Amino acid sequence: MGIPTGMKMYDSQLSPFAARCRLAIYAKDLEVELLRMPDPALEAEFNRLAPMRKIPVLVDGETIVPESAVICEYLEDRGFGLSLRPTDPAHIARMRVLSRIGDLYVMEPMGELFGHINPGCRDQQRVALELAELAKAMGWLEQFIEGPEFALGDSLTLADCELVPVLFFFDAIGPLFGEAQPFTGFPRCEAYYRTVQKQPAAAKVVAELDEALKRMMGS
């Protein structure tokens, strides 16, 4: 049994954004009711609460919080469980820079590539462009990440919550685009991604994403 919070979260097993929040929830050992979407029975209420209609959305009584980064910071600010935010301003800044590289620069081309998974309807020129953007962003991450145990410092932070799902998808979709060893050229990121999974919360989220991706791919 985790720490009771009375919160619920509209969730999707395959969403990297929802996975980021689940990692924070698991690491903090919080009881948050996860509402798996899509669910026709939940659709109307979700649309009423979430005009942006993007998953995840956290519901804490009257407080409705969309956007994964904001949800994670909100969980910190509510003060439940283990803190995932360093106290030193320089460390907080580094945690946020790592998170933004993942969120803005790595996720963006990866999201585009997701639309080209099927080789039958793939725009090769577009794919080459997005792969180049992805490699550039991974190069930035390679410079900023500390690792191998944690993205920075000596404990789990919100940067790990962001980067574990991002690197799961980086690892998983590479082979679909002819990159059998996607981490080649990014050894610090690779060592980090493999080692951080010693953390039970990270391993749990990776297993959930893996299961959901396999289901989506029909394998």
Ligand X SMILES: N[C@@H](CCC(=O)N[C@@H](CS)C(=O)NCC(=O)O)C(=O)O
Closest distance to ligand X from the beta carbon of 195 (Å):
25
Q: Can you tell me which of 55, 167, 173, 196 binds ligand X, judged by CB under 6 A? A: 55
Using CB under 6 A as the binding rule, whether residue 67 contacts ligand X is answered as: yes
Among 8, 54, 116, 194, binds ligand X (CB under 6 A): 54
- Residue 17 sits in the site that holds ligand X (CB under 6 A): yes
Pick 11 or 171: Cβ nearer ligand X: 11
Q: How far is the CB of 113 from ligand X (least distance, A)?
A: 14
Indicate whether 108 belongs to the interface with ligand X (CB under 6 A).
Answer: no
> What's the closest the beta carbon of residue 125 comes to ligand X, in angstroms?
25
Q: Of the candidates 5, 13, 68, 197, which one interacts with ligand X according to CB under 6 A?
A: 68
Q: Residue 53 interacts with ligand X (CB under 6 A)? A: yes
Q: Chain-centre distance of CA 174, in angstroms?
A: 17
> Which span (9-17, 90-98, 125-133, 142-150) binds ligand X, by CB under 6 A?
9-17
**15 near ligand X, judged by CB under 6 A:** yes
Closer residue to ligand X in complex, CB, 15/157? 15
Q: What is the 3-state secondary structure (H, E, C) of the chain?
A: CCEEEEEEEEECCCCHHHHHHHHHHHHHCEEEEEEECCCHHHHHHHHHHCCCCCCCEEEECCEEEECHHHHHHHHHHHCCCCCCCCCCHHHHHHHHHHHHHHHHHHHHHHHHHHCCCCHHHCCHHHHHHHHHHHHHHHHHHHHHCCCCCCCCCCCCCHHHHHHHHHHHHHHHHHHHHCCCCCCCCCHHHHHHHHHHCCCHHHHHHHHHHHHHHHHHHCC
The residue type at 72: C
* Contact flag: residue 136 with ligand X (CB under 6 A): no
How many chain residues interact with ligand X (CB under 6 A)?
A: 10
Report the greatest alpha carbon distance in the chain: 50
Does position 100 interact with ligand X (CB under 6 A)? The reply is: no
User: What number of other Cβ atoms are within 10 A of residue 85's Cβ?
Assistant: 16
> Which CB atom, from 67 or from 149, has the smaller least distance to ligand X?
67
> Footprint of ligand X on this chain (CB under 6 A)?
12, 15, 17, 53-56, 67-69
